[in-house]
A and B are shown apart, each in its own frame.
Chain A
């Protein structure tokens, strides 16, 4: 862990928000992609 000095809280909170939002965006995109793909396959197979 690098020495962040008096601004440790500032740096870590900015990085936390940034990385947290990126992870949430990727997770939401992948989850929706899988759900929609599975639903389309089910419909095309003739499921209700």
Chain B
């Protein structure tokens, strides 16, 4: 494993783990969801 190999591995893993953790942290901090409002459905039209 070369130095650049470690760099690419490290940067790639940081990117995907960082993005995933940031996204889930955001989602988890969201306010509680609204009560479901039934959508219209035209399959019976």
Q: Do A and B bind each other?
A: no
